[in-house]
Chain A
């Protein structure tokens, strides 16, 4: 019993527990869940699908974790920024006004970099509003939440821009000769870079100290505004990368659908990862496991016949349950109940 209690206090308990729960439910429902087969030289299977499709959420969750940790608020613009970066990338590659091309106007790398840069600009905009002007994070990001998708539509001239260029599909699908989907590698690279940035430099420590007490951090010589700005910048760049991957998957820029409802997934991933949405200490590994758990839930819902536009109902309920369980008021209420019960037991 004591062992179980200790286990429950481990930071990664919640994400891993949820992950195992979701996988178990799937296994009971369909025993073929874990089967992986090789077709045409690439891997197929539910599990591969989850790892593949979860890449964007994992990339977003990395950025979102930092934002939540540093400012106790969330960046709700990530989904729209994904759409904007995909649109700006495709617009540059296809040339303004063209909605279907098979030859590129500029080299592919330039377009993709431009897309990521666009994400970075959006992140910097959010960061400036939050860090410099002290606007509540979610109101500041609400601006881009609406505007970024609209700007994306303008860039694509209100159309869906298709890039029918073989190499453009590599990033979101498969590189010939490699059985593992490319988005997995992208996610791993992003995670490794951010992890190194946090571990090998003092950035991780700074972010935590600003998140726990911004004033104390400033007094002890940390430029908290800059740290906050950097976090939003990283979040924007992550959203940009995720947008490019999502666009490459469907080799087009569909401004109305890319990144739709991803902000909910990203925030849910952070919450499921055992991070407090009130800021402060954070756990990157938890968020990443949380991200794949979300994708597993989505895939499960889809397999059960719940369409994508209905899935948010379940996710919203999960978010509410998690935040309620995390809420200090709820915790103290439960502790009081427990103490009361113990008293009754003692009296008996």
Chain B
């Protein structure tokens, strides 16, 4: 009997991810020490800026577990933000009804996409690509300019966006005047982490969560086991779009504005985060903890590019794309090696 637990390729991928994050952060700390990169607040800012992305990536991970993909998320976020901002400034609606409306729209959007993918068996990429252009177009239909929301428009929403959760002082740093500045974070981070934990528990302990792994692992055997493959797939898309709507609200709380070009390429960030976090594109393997590290890596890249100041912001896009490329190549190499070993 083997006593040593054998490392499988998926664990290796997650370890690579975590190591990469630590390495990148350490490099950042050393390179930009004078710009305050090493502060705990910088790390919290990464979380604050990416709270929406964490939610979206959780949804993306669930869809990818079933072997599908959802590239509509970026546009859906743009649509949500625009709707929230437009509703509160032009229609003078309250914050709570608008949030509920956005969540309902997310559910409906997911229902349509999920039905098309699950029950009509159309390729997920085609369906969600149509969804991507549809949502982006709808954003322009609502309003084609850029609008932002101020305190006068909706005090409640403004209060939500600007409330701080101050952390204990010992984590903070001492400023020039010898005064301790306590680090803070926003409620959006708490919501995002709560979502992450809920999805983690759901994937691990509920029937639906395990069904998703089964469907993604091998659809034929899942059918033979008596699982409702179509329903599971549909539910995964509904979940993804719903989480995407939550992500959109968090994103809007962070930016407080809506424009047609908002969150462009966010689908790429979400997919890259999930893939970097060890979710297999073929489905069946992955979990949201890995995805969290994927998001953190993604956020760190952006912060590194911004802190540098001289680099164009498109470098962040290129770096993310390159990382995605490296990781999917790694995945497919592992898969090829595995297939060869089995033969």
Contact string against A for B residues 306-322, beta-carbon threshold 8 Å, 1 for contact and 0 otherwise: 00000010110110111
- The CA-CA distance from A282 to B336 in the complex, in Å, is 30
The residue among B123, B133, B271, B281 with the most chain A CB atoms within 10 A of its own CB is B133
Query: Which residues of B from 289 to 341 have beta carbons under 8 Å from A?
Result: 312, 314-315, 317-318, 320-322, 324-325, 328-329, 332-333, 335-336
A311 located at the interface, meaning its Cβ lies under 8 Å from any Cβ of chain B in the complex = yes
B-binding segment of A102-110, A164-172, A195-203, A323-331: A323-331
* Residues of chain A with a CB closer than 8 A to B314's CB: 149-151, 153-154, 158
- The CA-CA distance from A316 to B141 in the complex, in Å, is 14
Cβ contact within 8 Å between B144 and A307: yes
Cβ contact within 8 Å between A143 and B130: no
* Residues of chain A with a CB closer than 8 A to B126's CB: 74, 267, 277, 319, 323
A99 located at the interface, meaning its Cβ lies under 8 Å from any Cβ of chain B in the complex = no
The residue from B122, B132, B141, B317 contacting A327, defined by CB atoms under 8 A apart = B122
B217 located at the interface, meaning its Cβ lies under 8 Å from any Cβ of chain A in the complex = no
* Residues of chain B with a CB closer than 8 A to A309's CB: 136-137, 140, 144, 260
The residue from B69, B137, B328 contacting A316, defined by CB atoms under 8 A apart = B137
| Shortest beta-carbon distance from A325 to chain B in Å | 10
* Residues of chain A with a CB closer than 8 A to B127's CB: 320, 323
* Residues of chain A with a CB closer than 8 A to B123's CB: 72-73, 277-278
B227 located at the interface, meaning its Cβ lies under 8 Å from any Cβ of chain A in the complex = no
* Residues of chain A with a CB closer than 8 A to B119's CB: 329
- The CA-CA distance from A328 to B140 in the complex, in Å, is 34
Cβ contact within 8 Å between B321 and A150: yes
A337 located at the interface, meaning its Cβ lies under 8 Å from any Cβ of chain B in the complex = no
The answer to whether residues A327 and B324 also contact, given A135-B281, A313-B138, A320-B130 and a CB cut-off of 8 A, is no
Contact string against B for A residues 265-297, beta-carbon threshold 8 Å, 1 for contact and 0 otherwise: 001000000000110000000000000000000
Cβ contact within 8 Å between A330 and B312: no
The answer to whether residues A316 and B321 also contact, given A145-B268, A323-B127, A324-B120 and a CB cut-off of 8 A, is no
B265 located at the interface, meaning its Cβ lies under 8 Å from any Cβ of chain A in the complex = yes
* Residues of chain A with a CB closer than 8 A to B329's CB: 129, 133, 135
- The CA-CA distance from A267 to B335 in the complex, in Å, is 30
Number of interface residues of B (CB under 8 A): 44
- The CA-CA distance from A225 to B13 in the complex, in Å, is 27
The answer to whether residues A147 and B318 also contact, given A134-B336, A261-B133, A309-B140 and a CB cut-off of 8 A, is yes
* Residues of chain A with a CB closer than 8 A to B140's CB: 307, 309-310
A317 located at the interface, meaning its Cβ lies under 8 Å from any Cβ of chain B in the complex = yes
Cβ contact within 8 Å between A319 and B130: yes
The residue from B71, B136, B144, B336 contacting A142, defined by CB atoms under 8 A apart = B71
Cβ contact within 8 Å between B332 and A146: no
The answer to whether residues A147 and B321 also contact, given A139-B69, A267-B126, A329-B119 and a CB cut-off of 8 A, is yes
Cβ contact within 8 Å between A154 and B336: no
The answer to whether residues A153 and B312 also contact, given A145-B268, A316-B130 and a CB cut-off of 8 A, is yes
* Residues of chain A with a CB closer than 8 A to B324's CB: 142-143
Cβ contact within 8 Å between A154 and B312: yes
- The CA-CA distance from A278 to B121 in the complex, in Å, is 11
Cβ contact within 8 Å between B144 and A310: yes
Contact string against A for B residues 140-166, beta-carbon threshold 8 Å, 1 for contact and 0 otherwise: 110010000000000000000000000
* Residues of chain A with a CB closer than 8 A to B122's CB: 323-324, 327
- The CA-CA distance from A83 to B318 in the complex, in Å, is 15
* Residues of chain B with a CB closer than 8 A to A140's CB: 328
Closest chain B residue, CB of each to CB of A145: B268
| Shortest beta-carbon distance from B298 to chain A in Å | 12
Cβ contact within 8 Å between B130 and A142: no
* Residues of chain B with a CB closer than 8 A to A134's CB: 332, 335-336
A138 located at the interface, meaning its Cβ lies under 8 Å from any Cβ of chain B in the complex = yes
A45 located at the interface, meaning its Cβ lies under 8 Å from any Cβ of chain B in the complex = no
A312 located at the interface, meaning its Cβ lies under 8 Å from any Cβ of chain B in the complex = yes
B116 located at the interface, meaning its Cβ lies under 8 Å from any Cβ of chain A in the complex = yes
Closest chain B residue, CB of each to CB of A271: B126
B18 located at the interface, meaning its Cβ lies under 8 Å from any Cβ of chain A in the complex = no
Cβ contact within 8 Å between A135 and B121: no
Contact string against B for A residues 124-139, beta-carbon threshold 8 Å, 1 for contact and 0 otherwise: 0000010001111011
Cβ contact within 8 Å between A154 and B318: yes
The residue among A74, A145, A314, A320 with the most chain B CB atoms within 10 A of its own CB is A320
A76 located at the interface, meaning its Cβ lies under 8 Å from any Cβ of chain B in the complex = yes
The answer to whether residues A312 and B120 also contact, given A74-B126, A139-B271 and a CB cut-off of 8 A, is no
- The CA-CA distance from A278 to B329 in the complex, in Å, is 24
* Residues of chain A with a CB closer than 8 A to B132's CB: 316
Closest chain B residue, CB of each to CB of A310: B140
| Shortest beta-carbon distance from A186 to chain B in Å | 26
A264 located at the interface, meaning its Cβ lies under 8 Å from any Cβ of chain B in the complex = yes
A315 located at the interface, meaning its Cβ lies under 8 Å from any Cβ of chain B in the complex = yes
Closest chain A residue, CB of each to CB of B271: A142
B131 located at the interface, meaning its Cβ lies under 8 Å from any Cβ of chain A in the complex = yes
The answer to whether residues A150 and B121 also contact, given A307-B144, A309-B260, A313-B134 and a CB cut-off of 8 A, is no
| Shortest beta-carbon distance from B146 to chain A in Å | 12
B191 located at the interface, meaning its Cβ lies under 8 Å from any Cβ of chain A in the complex = no
The residue among A129, A133, A267 with the most chain B CB atoms within 10 A of its own CB is A133
* Residues of chain A with a CB closer than 8 A to B265's CB: 146
* Residues of chain B with a CB closer than 8 A to A144's CB: 321
| Shortest beta-carbon distance from B50 to chain A in Å | 17
Cβ contact within 8 Å between A328 and B121: yes
The residue from A74, A143, A264, A310 contacting B325, defined by CB atoms under 8 A apart = A143
Q: Sample 22 A-B pairs with CB under 8 A, ordered by A number.
A: A74-B125, A129-B325, A133-B328, A140-B328, A142-B268, A142-B324, A143-B321, A143-B325, A146-B317, A147-B317, A147-B322, A150-B315, A264-B133, A267-B126, A267-B129, A277-B123, A309-B140, A310-B137, A310-B141, A313-B134, A320-B116, A329-B121
**Shortest 3 CB-CB distances between A and B: which pairs?**
A313-B137, A147-B321, A150-B314
Enumerate chain B interface residues (CB-CB to A < 8 A).
69, 71, 116, 119-123, 125-127, 129-134, 136-138, 140-141, 144, 260, 265, 268, 271, 281, 312, 314-315, 317-318, 320-322, 324-325, 328-329, 332-333, 335-336
